[in-house]
Chain A
Amino acid sequence: MIELPISLLITSILGAMFAGFVCSTMGVFVVRMNLSSIGFCMSHAAFAGAAFGLMTSIDPLISAIIFSFVTAMILGPISEKARLESNVVIGFLFSIMIALAFIFLNFIPGQAASGTALRILWGSIFSVGYNDLLILALLSFILILFIVLFYKELLAVMFHRKLAESSGINTKLFYFAVLFFTGFAVSLSLRLVGGLLVYALIINPTSSAYQFFYDFKKILIFSPLIGIISCLIGFWLSLITDFPIGASIVIISAIIFAIAIILSPKRRRGNGMQYKKTLKAV
């Protein structure tokens, strides 16, 4: 087991909790808007950013954050303007990012630097500093405020964007806001969870919560809760086994998801539910 000074331990635990909260809160919207591959795309953007940072002697973490954030920011306008499915644009951006990453890596002298770029992808238990913690806490607070203030608009947009638009809601604003906050959540969680695995922290807790509830409000409460629990248990697992923290968190969240699938009342026979029921079957 890794021995940590108490202050570092508290910072890391709080960091894990906030990362779990912001990622799995945004997961509720990302999953509902069918943008599941956004995390995957941004993690590769982070990888490209880290490679760019090493190539230009900028802090690779800063450049990784900027790359993943900018990717989230241009995703919305591109899919709106080009009238393309968001997942098509995500696939397009993903391939560009991975291509850029390889080009940047090609210009980095020595293998040690490439290793630094790769470390951005799997995160580190010791990487969360006091400033990171403050920013994560601030983002968590802003997210709670955003959801409380705009709950009715968010629910309408998540149900059906065109219907929400027809009621007089500016749906574009909320769509972009979700992308904006997801970009922030991913960027700030990179240090701890790692770019490659942050994707799972967005998807798994929400998918687990979806197995139990039909009420959007409950999903918004339980998804972050599962995210925080996954991060805390993952953190503990990482301490006792010396596994990479990102991997530990993902393993725990995946186990929770598997248990949720098994226990899900929505999937039990005799519940009046068919997994693929359409309105045409009236």
Chain B
Amino acid sequence: MKNNTNVIDLENIETIYEGERTPVIRDVSLKVKSTEFIAIIGPNGAGKTTLLETINGLLPYTSGQGFVFGKMISKHRSEIRKNIGYVLQNFEIDPLAPFLCKDIVMSGRSGKIGMFRFATKEDWEEVWYSMGLVGMIDFAQRSIGKLSGGEFQKILIARALAQEPEILLLDEPFSNLDFSSRKQIEILLNRINDKHKITTVMVSHDLSFVPSKCKRVIVMDKGKIIMDGKKDWILTSDTINKIFHNGKGL
């Protein structure tokens, strides 16, 4: 147990995938305070997703020390995850998949409710609230395979919110979305951070959609954090221009 104000505290973290020798992320140190909204940007293959999955313990780190909520990630993985909402990068879903949106949102609370326990009225109220927050309450009885990309993304965000997380990890929340859906998700993320004060760490390879509430940007390249600072300073720096080919993204 570590006593400090940082909800995420990584020190010289290195993560290597099983069966490989080269670390995907190395020498990563990161401190995130409660209620912060951070964007991690970098080209494809920079190690952004690996960093997110190291934070929630889906990937074990091979060296360094990692703490979330003051608890060592490697020892308290399952416990930590119950308070971290994770939105995966857009993935394909079978259009015939037999799942209703409300059940998918409720599945986010499964870990929190715990084994041998059934969802209570309060759990369902949290589900309706989360669905309402992302504007998807009318889709409760709809099949998940019938949704558009933007709608699906909102359901995944509602799923993470239903968990009542203290930290929200978002992996490329704008990928494969059209402009209007991107805008809607951006407004939604701003609102969540503003209203619910949830610490948010968002990963993106696209510079054009860093939400306005996000004040701190971290730049990753080749597995390392190469810049960490205020959004306005980072997004106008020469290094960013070099990495992103004149700021157009990769």
Contact = CB atoms under 8 A, between A and B. Distances in A.
Contacts of B97: 159, 214
Contacts, number: 117
Given A153-B110, A162-B88, A168 B81 contact: yes
B193 to A, nearest CB: 20
B173 to A, nearest CB: 13
Nearest to B153: A279
Contacts of B107: 152, 155-156, 159, 163-164, 167
Interface in B94-123: 95-100, 103-104, 106-113, 115-116, 118-119
Contact of B18 (A83, A150, A280): A83
Given A152-B113, A279-B176, A168 B58 contact: no
Interface string A141-185: 000000001101101101110111111111000000000000000
A152 B107 CA distance: 6
Contacts of B149: 279-282
B226 interface: no
Interface residues of B, number: 50
Contact of A282 (B110, B112, B177): B177
Contacts of A32: 98
A281 B150 CA distance: 11
A266 interface: yes
Contact of A166 (B56, B92, B109, B143): B56
B127 to A, nearest CB: 12
Given A163-B86, A274-B95, A279-B91, A152 B152 contact: no
A165 B176 contact: no
Chain A interface secondary structure, helix, strand, loop or mixed? helix
B78 interface: yes
A167 B148 contact: no
A166 B178 contact: no
Contact of A273 (B58, B86, B146): B146
Contact of A279 (B84, B92, B116, B143): B92
Interface in B139-189: 143-146, 148-150, 152, 156, 159, 163, 176-178, 181
B44 interface: no
A219 B98 contact: yes
B57 to A, nearest CB: 9
B96 A266 contact: yes
B90 interface: yes
B148 A282 contact: yes
A272 B147 CA distance: 10
A160 to B, nearest CB: 7
A166 B84 contact: yes
Nearest to B177: A282
Given A165-B58, A282-B149, A273 B181 contact: no
Contact of B110 (A167, A215, A281): A167
Interface string A263-277: 000100000111111
A215 B145 CA distance: 11
Contacts of A217: 103
A210 B96 contact: yes
A57 interface: no
B98 A214 contact: yes
Nearest to A275: B95
A150 B116 CA distance: 7
Contacts of B98: 32, 210, 213-216, 218-219
B148 A273 contact: no
A139 to B, nearest CB: 21
Contact of B143 (A167, A214, A274, A281): A214
| A-B CB proximity, top 4 nearest | A168-B111, A282-B149, A214-B143, A156-B107
Interface of B: 18-19, 56, 58, 78-79, 81-82, 84, 86, 88, 90-93, 95-100, 103-104, 106-113, 115-116, 118-119, 143-146, 148-150, 152, 156, 159, 163, 176-178, 181
5 contacts: A149-B116, A159-B97, A166-B58, A169-B111, A280-B149
